[in-house]
A and B are shown apart, each in its own frame.
Chain A
Amino acid sequence: MALPRRLLIANRGEIAVRVIRACRDLDISPIAVYAPVDAGAPHVRLADEALLLPGDVPAESYLNGPLLVELARRTGAAALHPGYGFLAENPAFAALCEEAGLAFVGPPADVLRRCGDKAAARAAADASGVPILRGTPPVDDDVAGREARAVGFPLLIKAAGGGGGKGIHLVRGPSDLASALRLARGEAQAAFGDPRVYLERWLEQPRHVEVQILADHQGGVIHLGERACSVQRRHQKLIEEAPAPGLPAALREALVTAAVRVARTLGYRNAGTIEFLVDGEEFFFIEVNARIQVEHPVTELVTGVDLIAAQVLIASGAPLPWRQADLRWTGCALECRISAEDPHAGFLPSLGRIDGVTEPAGPGVRVDSGAWPGQVVSRHYDPLLSKVITTGPSREAAIDRMRRALREYAISGVSTTIPFHLWALDQPAFARGLYDVRFADGWEPEPPTPEVERLATLAAAAWFHRRLTTPTLPADGAVGRWIGAGREESLR
């Protein structure tokens, strides 16, 4: 089967840019869509055509399934890439694409349905002989108390209808159950349109390790190795790396074998991730993420495989161009997610307008970014701005390059997670690779040293002086910057 000539990207931000780049490499014409607030975004500029969506609210924009299919039809796109989040794991939307004759770049609707039903995915893993955590089917409020006692506290409440960390709540004891259930149901309803939740045993200090899978329509399934994603907060990943540090070879082999087995049992197609918790020598299946993941670049950099291009190839009906034995892993890769969140204020979303961005580059540094000067960080969308991915022959080299890259990264207008990442890289537990999912809980903005306070005082005083002495003219665009600069100069 031939590749599509044109492909519509039903997403925004860094992942839309990433898909556009894969399209260029495959000689496919990329078509972007955008909400009004994203009008100046990089994905709009880089695509061959960009179509305006009616509103900023997700339901009117990137969740507007029927309109997105109609726009694909109107622009002559033969395929649609959903990115991650939004409609990426929505079986009804995948079916809508199929009915319209569009190749949905992801698993087919029936696979999405099986993976999206977390209870069914757990049952599939169980059936393929892969260990799972003790848990329940979706529960009603009136039996939740009894079910919770059977699972044992502490436990997690998880949304049956979706992943991505939404709707997950930790319950330490029976007294917290009712309020956590209410919040979890509310989030699950808002994020996935499905209020069903289930309960699952919670491990105190596990590590999160996941395996990247590619499966074609001819029955070929390969794995591309594992990623370690234990640096998490509120079940949102912050740092990911490949390979997983400190994972014994035998355990790694067991994990990747289990992942391929789960993928086969589910009849999996396209790119997917099988997530596990590792506790000592034990491991447990948790869920399948039936989409390309935010952290896919670390796998790309250690395997040399373009995962987005592979997704498009598979969706067009091509068999996998590699056998398992063809894959080689080289070096180490590390990813830091740069989000508009304030690590000094409990990681609250930092809303505002970005008025300047300087991104890092150089040897061993890749930046997948959707950030731009003028960008309004609104509450409608995920706060992820970009990802910095570094590589090196060793883990230490990748970490050193990350430190260099983060010090080059300057984003003005919103707070970002960069200070958290700088902290994480310097923690002895992280340097040794001996960190678990509790690691990020140790973040506490340390009281500044006297030297840092001295530097801050110098910088603040000069900044204050600069503000009081620098004349400014309103930047309304009515005056050209050249003329404006001249006028400002004459006022000095």
Chain B
Amino acid sequence: MRVEATVSGHRRIVEVRGTADEYIIRVGGEAVPFRLRPDAGSECFRLEVGGQTIPVRICAAGGGASVIIGTARVAVGLRRALPIPSRRNAGLGASARREVRAPIPGLVVAVPVAQGATVAPHTPVAIIEAMKMQMEVPAAAAGRIEDLRVRPGQEVAGGAVLAVIACPPDATGMDAPAVAGQGA
């Protein structure tokens, strides 16, 4: 199987051959024999390569995998290498709406802003409590609260939209505008 693996924006075609956790991989003409032995559960493996064994944790993340080796985490974009060119590179352009999302699931304990309020990038939009800790969720962009979707006392899922901010055209948020492409 030919797999297209993208690490830090660098794309490589990797050829994987093998069965029962024993593989030979070809990267740029170099053949690397190795094993991927299951260790615990669905995510933990031991990578046997080059005469040593390395514990790794691999979990599905976005359009690929997140690989934890030692202290490092490496996001690897993965897909089957197909001879059809990608259509995913068309830019979406910067949006004039910004969503404020819950960073973790939890309980909304306070919503210090009101519908229609003007906010700065650091203005707290909601305070969420999880595991006995409270954290402020900042607006992330300057603008006006166009749609406030949560009330105090409400349980929210991780990633849930808490509010939508309408940004004036010249507003500069904390992040660069979203860029289309392979998510990490």
The residues of A with any CB-CB pair to B shorter than 8 Å are 166, 179, 183, 186-187, 190-191, 234, 344, 348-349, 351, 354-358, 373, 379-383, 407-408, 410-413, 415, 419-420, 422-423, 426, 445-446, 448-449, 452-466, 468-469
Contact = CB atoms under 8 A, between A and B. Distances in A.
Interface residues of B, number: 61
A156 B139 CA distance: 26
17 contacts: A344-B73, A349-B130, A349-B131, A351-B105, A358-B39, A410-B44, A412-B44, A423-B71, A452-B72, A453-B7, A453-B74, A456-B56, A456-B74, A459-B69, A460-B65, A460-B67, A468-B80
B49 to A, nearest CB: 7
| Across the A-B interface, the 9 shortest Cβ-Cβ residue pairs | A356-B41, A412-B41, A356-B40, A410-B44, A456-B74, A410-B40, A460-B76, A412-B43, A355-B41
B158 interface: yes
Interface in B11-52: 12, 14, 16, 18-19, 21, 23, 25, 27, 32, 34, 36, 39-45, 47, 49
Contacts of B132: 166, 187, 190-191, 382
Given A373-B41, A464-B65, A452 B70 contact: yes
B173 interface: no
A389 B103 CA distance: 32
B41 A190 contact: no
Which residue, of A357, A458, A469, has the highest number of chain B Cβ atoms within 10 A?
A: A458
B133 interface: yes
B134 interface: yes
A463 B18 CA distance: 12
B129 interface: yes
Contacts of B43: 355-356, 412-413
B40 A381 contact: no
Which residue, of B40, B76, B107, B132, has the highest number of chain A Cβ atoms within 10 A?
A: B132
Contacts of B95: none
Contacts of A382: 131-132
Contacts of B54: 455
A5 to B, nearest CB: 35
A190 B109 contact: yes
Contact of A462 (B8, B25, B134): B25
Nearest to A380: B131
B92 interface: no
A58 B108 CA distance: 17
A445 B71 contact: yes
B124 A179 contact: yes
